[in-house]
Amino acid sequence: MDEPTETPLIRAQGLTRRFDRDGDTLTVLDRVSLSVNTGDMLAVVGASGAGKSTLLHLLGTLDRPSDGKVFFGGQDLSELDDRELADFRNRHLGFVFQFHHLLPEFTAVENVLMPAWISGDRTRAATERAESLLEEMGLSARRAHRPGELSGGEQQRVALARALMMEPPLVLADEPTGNLDSASSALVHDLFFRIHETRGTTFLVVTHNPALAQQMTRVVTMQDGRVLDDGLALGGGTALGGGLALETGDLGPEMGDRA
């Protein structure tokens, strides 16, 4: 038998992102290669400005690389046009950002339903699914609330339910609990692990939260647009990986990463 060679769920190959600023070229992501396998729980850590969000946006096809490619299950995503990419994201990726990006004029259940509506699904089954996701997030009693009537933690749990609406194999989260108190953060983190356990969903989470990074199966440390270290969490990987994951600067709730 051949040795088992699993196709990574998502793979970055030499990903580079440059920005032109006042005639200067700023390289914010520098030839990053990374393979994420189905079932990975991967934390991306590193100081502010290291390129974490840029990497997440490129992996999520929200931005196009200056160089390099992203493959999803072996498919080269650079071959898709913008419309095809929007459809790809809708069906295969769930996103959770630091700020919930819920639509203020829609209720919680309508926000969760939005990805299904965008895909053309307005069935009763979709509504039932959205309601059951809210129940799973402990938010049944909030189904008819608008985002402005929810706490920060509740808003993020609605955003997580929305991310799961289309049953994506991969959830990309960018400092999802960066604005939450520790109790609300812990609730969201527990949901990540429960979802991973029940559905096998793969998670890639940019985080400053050492408690979360420590629980993940893998911690990728970024610095100056490059991957500095890629190892198993909890001392399972290199000493460098375990240590850096817990010591990386500006830990704790970070307000307004880009501000």
Ligand X SMILES: Nc1ncnc2c1ncn2[C@@H]1O[C@H](COP(=O)(O)OP(=O)(O)O)[C@@H](O)[C@H]1O
Contact residues: Mg ion, CB under 5 A: 52-53, 257
| Cβ contact 53:257 at 8 Å | yes
Binder of residue 19, out of ligand X, Mg ion, none (CB less than 5 to 8 A by kind):
ligand X
Q: Of residues 36, 54, 93, 203, which one binds ligand X by CB under 6 A?
A: 54
The residue (of 118 and 251) whose beta carbon lies closer to ligand X is 251
Q: Which residue number, 60 or 169, has a Cβ lying nearer to Mg ion?
A: 60
Our CB check for ligand X shows the closer of 130 and 216 to be: 216
For the chain, counts of helices (H) and of strands (E): 8, 10
CA trace torsion 137, 133, 158, 251 (10° rounding):
50
Q: Measuring CA to CA, how many Å separate 39 from each of 13, 36, 195?
A: 20, 9, 11
What binding mask, one character per residue, do residues 4-43 give for ligand X by CB under 6 A, x or -? ---------------x-x----x-x---------------
229 binds ligand X (CB under 6 A): no
Single residue of 8, 39, 49, 237 touching ligand X by CB under 6 A: 49
Report, in Å, the least distance between residue 152 CB and ligand X.
Answer: 20
Q: Which residue(s) pair with 83 in the sheet?
A: none
Q: Which is nearer to Mg ion, 12 or 161 (CB)?
A: 12
179 near ligand X, rule: CB under 6 A: no
Helix axes 152-164, 124-136, angle to 10 degrees: 140
Query: What is the per-residue DSSP string for 31-81?
Result: EEEEEE-TT-EEEEE--TTSSHHHHHHHHTTSS--SEEEEEETTEEGGGS-
Q: Write out the two tokens for 102.
A: 């819920």
Q: How far is the CB of 20 from ligand X (least distance, A)?
A: 8
Question: 149 or 250, CB closer to ligand X?
Answer: 250
Binding site for ligand X (CB under 6 A): 19, 21, 26, 28, 46, 48-54, 257-258
